[in-house]
Amino acid sequence: MTVYGVWRCSTDHQDQERQVLALKEAGCLPENIYGDKITGVSDFSNRPELKKCLALMKANDILIISELSRLSRSFTGMINEVSKLLERGIHIKTLDKRLDTTAMPKEITMLIVSILGYAASQELSQLKSRTAEGRAVALSRGVKFGKKRVYDKHVVAEIMDKRSKGHGYGQIGKAMGIARGTVQKIVNREKALA
């Protein structure tokens, strides 16, 4: 019997250290800890480290995860993956103590997984809804999304030089690969600063 640990972070901004530390404290050796930085609703084929871990596991091995949603946040994804693991004789334990298949019959396990899967999928649905509402409110207030492009002093100097030579905003933008409106904003800002 080998104990494996799996962590998952949804974005590059999240840090897996907390999960890795908890997995070590639960008895996972560092060489048996795997993880991916990917959303919980992503297809399992996009989780190379999880696939590698599951390929190594044999009957009676234990998979430890911080919570079941680290495996999947979709209801069907969670049910399918847990079912496959149980069919292979692999046990699952969550660090939040909501699931421990070593201490319960398969029927109870699937009931618990169904409830947790439903809760995870509802939580994800609410999160998406709140995000969409927040985005709509921000857009109505004029907030623009996306990375704000910063132009260095050389680009600004070139724009101002072209403008002083009588070039139009559109002409400058086309030549430099910058939107006409952005060129106009840069020019107006520079004039205000002068």
Of 38-52, 64-78, 85-99, which one has max mean pLDDT? 85-99
Query: 65 by DSSP, 3-state: which?
Result: strand
Q: What is the pLDDT of residue 5?
A: 94
Rounded distance, CA 75 to CA 120, Å? 7
Q: What is the pLDDT of residue 11?
A: 67
Structural domain boundaries in the chain: 3-125, 153-193
List the 3-9 sheet strands across, edge first: 33-37, 3-9, 62-65, 91-94
3-state helix, strand, coil in the chain (%, to 5): 60, 10, 30
Give residue-wise pLDDT tens across range 86-145: 889 999 999 988 889 888 888 887 888 788 777 777 777 888 888 888 888 888 888 877
Which of 24-38, 95-109, 156-170 comes out lowest in average pLDDT?
Answer: 95-109
Please name the CATH architecture into which domain 3-125 falls. 3-Layer(aba) Sandwich (3.40)
Q: Which residue has the tokens 């696939």?
A: 51
Q: What is the pLDDT of residue 105?
A: 82
pTM of this prediction exceeds 0.85 = no
On the CB side of 183, how many CA atoms lie within 13 Å of its CA?
20
